[in-house]
């Protein structure tokens, strides 16, 4: 159903002068409702990826709460097949049950954005199931 489609609407990432970073992810339902996730982190390769992934997980949680809560367990960029792949591991909690999810995104120019998109890749199927039972 098109009205229940959650879309990646906007992503911003900043490296701050104090050695920290900030990510903001905006997701939008087709009816125009927006859900924003923000996170701060340490400016380093791992810190920037985690910051972006946490912002995406927060936006997703806001979009589907209180039924689902997403938590970033880990995020890593690896070189494979002459490309950079960002891989995330998430926990999705519904009531007392937790499911572990893994997602990836192929990126060359913007690894922080790739981390946010990898979160969406990991949660795509579980969100589809949520929308069917909603």
Three-class secondary structure assignment of the chain? CHHHCEEEEEEEEEECCCCEEEEEEEEEECCCCEEEEEEEEECCHHHHHHHHHHHHHHHHHHHHCCCCEEEEEEEEEEEECCEEEEEEEEEEEECCEEEEEEEEEEECCCHHHHHHHHHHHHHHHHHHHHHHHC
Q: Give the least confident one: 29-33, 60-64, 109-113, 123-127.
A: 123-127
Output the pLDDT for position 120.
Answer: 95
Which two three-digit tokens encode residue 59? 């936006």
pLDDT tier, 5 (very low <50, low <70, confident <90, very high otherwise): confident
pLDDT digits (tens, 9 = 90+) for 69-78: 999 999 999 9
pLDDT digits (tens, 9 = 90+) for 26-84: 999 888 999 999 999 999 999 999 999 999 999 999 998 888 899 999 999 999 888 89
129 vs 100, which has greater pLDDT?
Answer: 100
> How far is CA 122 from each of CA 3, 89, 92, rounded to the nearest angstrom?
21, 8, 10
Output the pLDDT for position 30.
Answer: 85
Q: pTM of the full predicted structure? A: 0.91
Helix axes 111-133, 45-64, angle to 10 degrees: 20
């Amino acid at each position: 159903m098109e009205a229940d489609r959650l879309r990646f609407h906007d992503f911003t990432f900043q490296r701050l002068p104090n050695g920290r970073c900030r990510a903001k992810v905006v997701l939008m339902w087709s009816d125009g409702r927006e859900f924003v996730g923000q996170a701060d982190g340490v400016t380093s390769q791992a810190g920037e990826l985690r910051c972006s992934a946490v912002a995406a997980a927060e936006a997703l949680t806001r979009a589907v709460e209180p039924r689902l809560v997403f938590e970033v367990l880990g995020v890593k960029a690896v070189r494979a097949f002459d490309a950079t792949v960002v891989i995330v591991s998430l926990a999705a909690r519904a009531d007392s049950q937790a499911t572990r999810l893994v997602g990836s995104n192929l990126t060359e120019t913007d690894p922080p954005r790739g981390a946010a998109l990898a979160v969406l890749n990991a949660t795509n199927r579980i969100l589809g199931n949520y929308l069917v039972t909603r």
